[in-house]
Structure 1
Amino acid sequence: MSAATTSDSSTSAIAQLSVSARLVAGKGEAKRLRRSGQVPAVAYGKTLAATPIAVAPKEVINILKSEHGKNTVIRVQVAGSERLVMIRDYSYHPVRRDLEHVDFVEVKLDEEIDVDIPLFTTGKAEGVVKGGILRQVYRTLPVRCRPDRIPLKIEVDVTSLELNGHISTQQLQLAEGVSVRLPAEQTLVSVVAPEKDRSAEEAAAAAPGAAGAAPAAAAGGKAAPAAKDAKAAAPAKDAKKK
């Protein structure tokens, strides 16, 4: 059976991000911030009311380009106290592609969160060697775990996967405290026959009279004499009545 394992999901270093309070809202303030080298942002959470802040775009982009990317846990000073947050959303200018706004959500190290983790395959499937095609249904997996257990990626070894075989969620071997939010039977990766082979099989199965054609012909060969006998029997019956 093919197995999947997460990469190292041990406690990762917490990133630091400098933020400043933003007391005035509106487009005018946003433009002023961008001219000064910052962008508007907001931080919120279960125990944190939506708080307007400003951040340096370069620092945010460096976090997004880091190993964990958007799943990085970040330490910030917000609303007079130190808190842990993660990037929930961000937007770029449609033309210049400059970072324009960032949303941060508060997280707790002892509370599970939902994140998306990249799924990669390793090895060459037996079914592919025999002419099949590897089909990866999911490129990322919806995962639930604590912030300090977020894996960088999930890898699945497909080497022993045969033609028409598949790997489902229940076959994943995940680190403790990490779960995938998909049905146990959900197919993640499979090896299928080439399109032309499948088309030929489907066409053959869908052909009119394809199923049971030979038995029908044989039965028809025997049915003819029976029909003849039945036809001859009818006048005899009528004759008896007379």
Structure 2
Amino acid sequence: MSAATTSSSSASTGSAIAQLSVSARLAAGKGEAKRLRKSGQIPAIAYGKTLASTPIAVAPKEVITILKSEHGKNSVIRVQLSGAERLVMIRDYSYHPVRRELEHVDFVEVKLDEEIDVEIPLIATGKAEGVVKGGLLRQVYRTLPVRCRPDRIPLKIEVDVTPLELNGHIFTQHLKLDEGVSVRLPAEQTLIAVVAPEKDRSADEAAAAPGAAAAPAAAAAGGKAAAAPAKDAKAAAPAKDAKKK
């Protein structure tokens, strides 16, 4: 197996901090959730290392706008919580199973000087040399677990696969990331590879299997052995008839 040593990647970083209006939510339960939805809001919660779990209410349209933005779930959001301005990110959210309306959102507090873990899309660009020659491009990871500060979160990580030959691989260590951005995978973890077509691989694997070469020889030997008794039996038949005469 050969590894691509000329692969490159680009990570777009830096984004404007989104704004989100939140309001305190004192009550809980289905009744309160129904009341909030009638008023155009939904229940949410915010928490963090220095922020106690705080029930809040947000406008679902504003949250959806953030989710549909360039950074999506990885957007850094400025909110007013507990009388102070804080930065948060969307940790989780849920939709109604039938109406598909946003029902609840979890926010986690972040600090610009502290690293966080996020998932970033991995995009393969170009057409691999191995694919031109009949191979298949296999992308093992569609997203990558990345660690960086909130203000350095990449939009995506792009990898040029053009120089990748048949049986070539792109490993984590081949990625060229911006300063302060790291991928939380082993250095020799395969991210993208060019492999032989399945039918060719199956034939190669069968040929390489232990005893595969001996099987035809054994079958041929068995065929000769099976033919021998038949020949002897045919030769013995006239002798038996001769005896009867």
TM-score w.r.t. structure 2 length?
Answer: 0.84
Which 5+ residue runs of structure 1 have no aligned equivalent?
A: 218-242
CA change 1:209–1:25 in 2 (3 A) is: closer
Partner of 2:159 in structure 1? 156
Which 5+ residue runs of structure 2 have no aligned equivalent?
A: 221-245
CA distance in 1: counterparts of 2:189 and 2:31, whole angstroms:
49
CA RMSD of aligned residues (A): 1.6
Q: How does 1:46-85 map to 2 (within 5 A)?
A: 46-85=49-88
Secondary structure at 2:46 match in 1: strand
Partner of 1:5 in structure 2? 9
Partner of 1:115 in structure 2? 118
TM-score w.r.t. structure 1 length?
Answer: 0.85
CA change 1:135–1:108 in 2 (3 A) is: same
CA distance in 2: counterparts of 1:113 and 1:181, whole angstroms:
11
Partner of 1:204 in structure 2? 207
Q: CA deviation at 1:79?
A: 1.1
CA distance in 2: counterparts of 1:143 and 1:31, whole angstroms:
37
Q: CA deviation at 1:207?
A: 6.5
Partner of 2:228 in structure 1? none
- Check whether the contact 1:2–1:167 (CA below 8 A) recurs between aligned residues: no
Q: How does 1:150-229 map to 2 (within 5 A)?
A: 150-206=153-209, 208=211, 210=213
Q: CA deviation at 1:208?
A: 3.3
- Check whether the contact 1:116–1:140 (CA below 8 A) recurs between aligned residues: yes
Partner of 1:95 in structure 2? 98
Letter in 2 for 1:166: H
Identical amino acids, percent of aligned pairs: 82
Secondary structure at 1:48 match in 2: coil
Partner of 2:21 in structure 1? 18
CA distance in 1: counterparts of 2:212 and 2:15, whole angstroms:
63
Secondary structure at 2:52 match in 1: strand
CA distance in 1: counterparts of 2:214 and 2:118, whole angstroms:
49
Q: CA deviation at 1:204?
A: 1.6
Q: CA deviation at 1:7?
A: 2.9
Partner of 1:234 in structure 2? none
Number of aligned residue pairs: 214
Letter in 1 for 2:69: S
Residues 1:105 and 2:108 are matched in the alignment: yes
